[in-house]
Amino acid sequence: MSATKKGVATLNLHSYSGFFWDAVNNIIRNRLMSVATIITLIAGLFLCGLSAALTVNIFSITDTLASDFKLDIYIDQACTDEQTTAIGEQIKTIENVESITFVSKEQTLEETKARYSDTQIFEGIDDSDIFRDSYKVTLVSLEFSKQVTDAISQIQGVAKITDVNDEMNKFMEVSRKAQIIIIIISIILGMLSVLIITNTINMSIFARKKQINIMKYVGATDGYIRRPFIVEGLLMGIIAALFSFGGLYFLYNSFIEAAGTIGTNFGILNLRDTMIYVGSTVGIFGMILGIIGSIIAIKSHLKV
């Protein structure tokens, strides 16, 4: 047999089942370190999954808000009923206004009481003067929001205009900040996870250093020797991904149920679709972190 790659038969899959059980045995043998590694990974992947859930929901909620091209026009409380009606007529004539709906202050009081009926905030309050009459103005398209807002603000008697853009911008700003914080923590935990996996695999390699040397003398390639340790890292990544996915599933399910009791979901994505994104994210990152940690660990141990 010559000293080249020629003559080597194709890879045997039965070796992989051997590597899998080797990896399982190693994880059990170093159980303390393995548990520490998996817990750290779970924390990192949990935040990673949370970030994914937040991102997809931001898009979903943004879409919902943007498709609801409404402005809320609040009428000065000093205006009479006739003046309020006249304001409505003026708004109808503005270009790019599709339709308007009048919401009286009495109606607003009733709706608010109904929304917060499980609390005592509005108990005993019957005076609708704490609210204003308003018009809900539907636009032809969100892009005309500024033009219509500017036109309406010229009308005398208009106290306040709430632009859905304002709400959306506020929401986006808060979400962006939350996202950035979660991503930073995820990255830190991710790096910590890689460090801990490296350490765990190092211990595993150290315990098998003699074995690795023997394998090298008998003619095992670096790739052959690396395989069981990579499988070990991968397995820990997958275990952590499963646990973090379970936690996120439970959390999001509870969140959905809570949002449902408020009476509206604001465009929150359903459980199934969200979990597809979350599951893919934690699964992929779990495997990547596991593999990276193993590769870093074994690199320095293969020189014989």
Partner 1 sequence: MIKFDNVTKTYENNGAAATYALNCVSLEVQKGEFVFVVGRSGAGKSTLSKLMIGEIKPTSGNLYVNGTCVNALKRRQIPYFRRTVGMVFQDFRLLENKTVFENVAFAMDIIGATRKQIRRKVPEVLSRVGLANKSKRYPHQLSGGEQQRVAIARALVNNPGLIIADEPTGNLDVQMSQEIINMLDEINRGGTTVLVVTHDLDMVNQMKKRVIEIEDGSIVRDEERSGNFESSFL
β-pair partners for 54: none
Residue 17 in the binding site for partner 1 (CB under 8 A): no
* Cβ within 8 Å of residue 100, ≥6 positions away: 88, 91, 92, 135, 136, 137, 138
What is the Cα–Cα distance from 286 to 243, expressed in whole angstroms?
A: 11
Angle at 32 between CA 26 and CA 38, to 5 degrees: 80
Residue 258 in the binding site for partner 1 (CB under 8 A): no
Residue 28 in the binding site for partner 1 (CB under 8 A): no
Cβ(108)–Cβ(134) below 8 Å: yes
Residue with smaller CB distance to partner 1, 25 or 264: 25
Residue with smaller CB distance to partner 1, 17 or 99: 17
Query: What per-residue string of b and e applies to 183-194 under the rule 16 or more CB within 10 Å gives b?
Result: bebbeebbeebb
Residue with smaller CB distance to partner 1, 70 or 208: 208
Q: How far is the CB of 209 from partner 1 (least distance, A)?
A: 12
Q: How far is the CB of 7 from partner 1 (least distance, A)?
A: 8
Residue with smaller CB distance to partner 1, 36 or 215: 215
Residue with smaller CB distance to partner 1, 29 or 146: 29
Q: How far is the CB of 238 from partner 1 (least distance, A)?
A: 24
Q: How far is the CB of 216 from partner 1 (least distance, A)?
A: 7
* Three-class SS state of 127: coil
Residues 192-251 that bind partner 1 (CB under 8 A): 211, 213-222, 224
* Three-class SS state of 19: helix
Residue 304 in the binding site for partner 1 (CB under 8 A): yes
Residue 67 in the binding site for partner 1 (CB under 8 A): no
Read off the tokens for 207: 């315990």
Residue with smaller CB distance to partner 1, 20 or 144: 20
Q: How many helices (H) and strands (E) does the chain have?
A: 9, 4
Q: How far is the CB of 227 from partner 1 (least distance, A)?
A: 11
Angle at 115 between CA 111 and CA 120, to 5 degrees: 110
Q: How far is the CB of 11 from partner 1 (least distance, A)?
A: 6
Q: How far is the CB of 32 from partner 1 (least distance, A)?
A: 20
What is the 8-class DSSP label of residue 64? H
Q: Which residues would be at the binding site for partner 1 (CB under 8 A)?
A: 1-5, 7-12, 14-15, 211, 213-222, 224, 304
